[in-house]
Amino acid sequence: MSEETPNSVTLEKDGNVAVVIVNNPPVNALSWHVREGLANHFAAALADDSVEAIVLRCDGSTFIAGADISEFGKAPRGPDFNAVLNSIEQATKPVVAAIHGTALGGGLETALVCHYRVAVPSAKLGVPEVKLGLLPGAGGTQRLPRVVGVEAAATMTSLGDPVPAPKAKDMGLVDALAGEDSLAADAIAFARTKIADGPRPTRERAVFGDVAIIEQLKTANAKRWRGFDAPYANLACVEAATRLPFDEGLAFERQEFTKLMFGSQSAAQRHIFFAERQAAKIDGLPKDTALRDVKKVGVIGAGTMGGGISMNFLQKGIPVTIVEMQQEALDRGVGVIRKNYEASAAKGRFKPEQVEAMMGILTPTLNIEDLADCDLIIEAVYENMDVKKEIFAKLDSIAKPGAILASNTSYLDVDEIATATSRPGDVLGMHFFSPANVMKLLEVVRGEKTAPDALATAMAIGKKIGKVAVVAGVCDGFIGNRMLKPRQVEAMNLLMEGATPQQIDKVHVDFGMPMGPFQMSDLAGVDIGWHRDPTRIESIRDALAAKGRWGQKTGKGFYDYDEKRNPTPSAEVAEIIEDFRQHSNKAKREISDQEIIERTLYPMVNEGALILTEGKAQRASDIDVVWIYGYGWPVYRGGPMFWAGLEGTDKIVAALEKHGFAVAPLLKEKAEAKSGF
């Protein structure tokens, strides 16, 4: 949306109806020149006596998808958005919004100042600002309650989910549905029917509905909204609409909007909005790189990961052939997939016939040769290099030319695995996160010899199955797990020095993480990577594992768990830690929460800087996307690398040096420049 293209709004006439058309690809965002064009063309249409009604529509794939987020934080240009909207609302001729694609945020606010709205059935209408840490700051929180009522307005603004047009019609948000292929004509015809009725300024309509919804939404979403400011600000504005005159409500909204706009949470969430889209781009890869066709997928291993991975493809109608060694394991794996789908169907996510259709394109087999016609084969067996190389050597002999051979390993050397084949260009990693059918993150691991089109295809198929795909280089733990390691190591050291599992976990939960290092260990399994020799106790983990404290799966780990898996601190664990401390002559001392932050989160930023310097991540924002979508890092803190900028890289370096860490040169550089990543 370059400043050089001001002609993004045009005006046409169809008899006595003027049609104002926005054309600002890719999503008709309300860039300065669009606001300017709207102001000019509406003024022209209103001044033209031959015009008796006005239609506002957009070219391209969608109606206005909101304010131009890329303009936020920049010097304001063009007319004030609210002034443009007021001029449309106060129009002396009926104005009809013709909606297709998405009418989102400022786009819906624009449609709300139009006196009537016509939409195609496939359209979606919503105010997703809360997902950017904001609120509809151009009258949306004051006009929505006047059109759809308090309940719907509170729900739409605080949750941010769009509403399909047919439902919007039922809610009164849309006045008429148009033909999918005749929106412009239908809107003009509708406008003509409103000439007699005249304008219907939304601000003059009465607010209706029950304000009790606001407390109900807060109660129902308390866990989901923990740490977020925006949902509560949205509800405060809708509540204000129920008791303040329109202009006072607008002023209250403006005040709340400004607070959010200049706060760190929205800056973080906007960062992630663009970071997520940036992550899909492969630096240096020609945009028109031809992707390989992926019409059939093979999955090796029907365990938890293999099953979850398969579900992603089946849900997109892509046939999967799943291989196991033993019939019993195969039946169990296929059974779990069906059980998961039936559980989702019971919650209304799928229709029973959809479950049958997905299970119908799943082919279980004990014969790996059945993967010969697959376009993509994903190996998801347990972590053992020899086993994986054996499988890839086998695949090399049976897979068709051009098939992509992917490993779901979470840390093993993909280049080493590729050496087992004669086609390393077709080998890469596709690291899914458990549960693989739920977690959105996918680390696509680029091997030294991975072909650009293979990489691009894996990234594209990742997006197709609803994942946020990020390119990672080959190193131990790739991006996410590599940064997790220093955190877990320091967490264990802090235990030895006097902190408790519950203290450390509380610091992380208060920070906004879904759980702390020890709750995470208990969920993943304390025995992961354990040498299985109960007589060999070299770490606190060994001691716990030797006592069968393997985590949630055995009802005890770093915590004891009740039947509902609620954790409680364990006296036995405290004893084990005390025992270890004494044997290693570690003095016990008071440890502050700040020290826990400095020694568990700052080293992650440090490791992130090393990952960037080594080129194992394309950009710092990719690291943020990994942690947001793979590890539950709070989106309102923007990810570890963005957060480092908020926290202060100089402060981080000073603390890391204080605690004796080797500081990454890139991080030192940023600290000297007092800049973020």
137 binds ligand T1G (CB under 6 A): yes
* Contact by Cβ (8 Å): 270, 177: no
Q: Which parts of 4-43 interact with ligand T1G (CB under 6 A)?
A: 26-27, 29
Of 69 and 337, nearer to ligand T1G (C-beta) is 69
In angstroms, what is the minimal distance from the CB of 180 to ligand T1G?
18
Of 84 and 545, nearer to ligand T1G (C-beta) is 84
How do 404-407 and 376-379 pair as beta strands? Answer: parallel
Residue 482: CA atoms inside 13 Å, Cβ hemisphere, count?
25
Question: Using omega within 30 degrees of 0 as the cis cutoff, is the peptide bond preceding 435 cis?
Answer: yes
In angstroms, what is the minimal distance from the CB of 495 to ligand T1G?
43
In angstroms, what is the minimal distance from the CB of 599 to ligand T1G?
36
77 binds ligand T1G (CB under 6 A): no
Of 153 and 655, nearer to ligand T1G (C-beta) is 153
The 3-state DSSP class for residue 663 equals coil
In angstroms, what is the minimal distance from the CB of 216 to ligand T1G?
24
134 binds ligand T1G (CB under 6 A): yes
Of 136 and 308, nearer to ligand T1G (C-beta) is 136
129 binds ligand T1G (CB under 6 A): yes
Kindly tell me which residue out of 105, 308, 333, 551 binds ligand T1G, with binding defined by CB under 6 A: 105
Nearest to 191, CA basis, from 179, 206, 181, 176: 176
256 binds ligand T1G (CB under 6 A): no
Look up 416 and say whether it is catalytic: no
- Name the catalytic one among 129, 239, 443, 647: 129
Of 405 and 635, nearer to ligand T1G (C-beta) is 635
132 binds ligand T1G (CB under 6 A): yes
Of 125 and 610, nearer to ligand T1G (C-beta) is 125
The 3-state DSSP class for residue 98 equals strand
- Name the catalytic one among 109, 253, 324, 443: 109
128 binds ligand T1G (CB under 6 A): yes
Residue type present at position 95 = V
267 binds ligand T1G (CB under 6 A): no
Residue 650 CB: number of other CB atoms within 10 A? 16
Binding segment for ligand T1G (CB under 6 A), chosen from 99-107, 294-302, 323-331, 393-401, is 99-107
Binding segment for ligand T1G (CB under 6 A), chosen from 100-108, 289-297, 468-476, 605-613, is 100-108
Q: Return d(Cα 29, Cα 278) in angstroms, integer.
A: 18
Q: How many residues bind ligand T1G, per CB under 6 A? A: 25
* Contact by Cβ (8 Å): 439, 432: yes
Query: Across-strand partners of 97?
Result: 56, 117
In angstroms, what is the minimal distance from the CB of 162 to ligand T1G?
8
Binding segment for ligand T1G (CB under 6 A), chosen from 59-67, 382-390, 445-453, 637-645, is 59-67
Tokens coding 28: 């008709």
Q: Return d(Cα 496, Cα 318) in angstroms, integer.
A: 50
Chain centroid offset of residue 164 CA: 21
Beta strands in 133-237 (DSSP E): 163-164, 176-177
In angstroms, what is the minimal distance from the CB of 545 to ligand T1G?
45
Kindly tell me which residue out of 9, 18, 54, 67 binds ligand T1G, with binding defined by CB under 6 A: 67
Nearest to 133, CA basis, from 305, 284, 259: 259
231 binds ligand T1G (CB under 6 A): no
Spatial CB neighbours of 458, under 8 Å, sequence gap ≥ 6:
376, 404, 406, 428, 430, 444, 469
In angstroms, what is the minimal distance from the CB of 109 to ligand T1G?
6
In angstroms, what is the minimal distance from the CB of 478 to ligand T1G?
24
Nearest to 467, CA basis, from 479, 455, 459: 459
Binding segment for ligand T1G (CB under 6 A), chosen from 46-54, 105-113, 362-370, 518-526, is 105-113
Residue 587 CB: number of other CB atoms within 10 A? 8
Nearest to 502, CA basis, from 448, 585, 567: 567
404 binds ligand T1G (CB under 6 A): no
Binding segment for ligand T1G (CB under 6 A), chosen from 11-19, 39-47, 101-109, 343-351, is 101-109
Angle formed by the axes of helices 501-511 and 480-497, nearest 10°: 140
260 binds ligand T1G (CB under 6 A): no
Nearest to 337, CA basis, from 368, 370, 363, 359: 359
In angstroms, what is the minimal distance from the CB of 469 to ligand T1G?
13
Q: Which parts of 275-304 interact with ligand T1G (CB under 6 A)?
A: 277
* Contact by Cβ (8 Å): 451, 282: no
In angstroms, what is the minimal distance from the CB of 315 to ligand T1G?
18
Of 133 and 425, nearer to ligand T1G (C-beta) is 133
- Phi first, then psi, for residue 610 (nearest 5°) are -65, -40
377 binds ligand T1G (CB under 6 A): no
634 binds ligand T1G (CB under 6 A): no
Assign 3-class secondary structure to 344-412: HHHCCCCCHHHHHHHHHCEEEECCHHHHCCCCEEEECCCCCHHHHHHHHHHHHHHCCCCCEEEECCCCC
In angstroms, what is the minimal distance from the CB of 89 to ligand T1G?
15
Nearest to 447, CA basis, from 471, 483, 481, 480: 471
Kindly tell me which residue out of 22, 65, 355, 381 binds ligand T1G, with binding defined by CB under 6 A: 65
Dihedral angle sign, alpha carbons of residues 168, 173, 175, 180: negative
Q: Return d(Cα 446, Cα 401) in angstroms, integer.
A: 19
Binding segment for ligand T1G (CB under 6 A), chosen from 127-135, 315-323, 533-541, 631-639, is 127-135
- Phi first, then psi, for residue 197 (nearest 5°) are -70, -35
Of 132 and 644, nearer to ligand T1G (C-beta) is 132
Kindly tell me which residue out of 70, 122, 539, 568 binds ligand T1G, with binding defined by CB under 6 A: 70
What are the angstrom distances between the C-alpha of 674 and each of 446, 597, 612, 650, 677? Answer: 32, 20, 18, 6, 10
Binding segment for ligand T1G (CB under 6 A), chosen from 34-42, 64-72, 459-467, 584-592, is 64-72
Look up 129 and say whether it is catalytic: yes
In angstroms, what is the minimal distance from the CB of 62 to ligand T1G?
6
249 binds ligand T1G (CB under 6 A): no
* Contact by Cβ (8 Å): 670, 649: yes
Query: Which residues in this chain contact ligand T1G in the complex, by CB under 6 A?
Result: 26-27, 29, 62, 65-70, 102, 104-106, 109, 128-129, 132, 134, 136-138, 140, 274, 277
Residues assigned a catalytic role: 109, 129
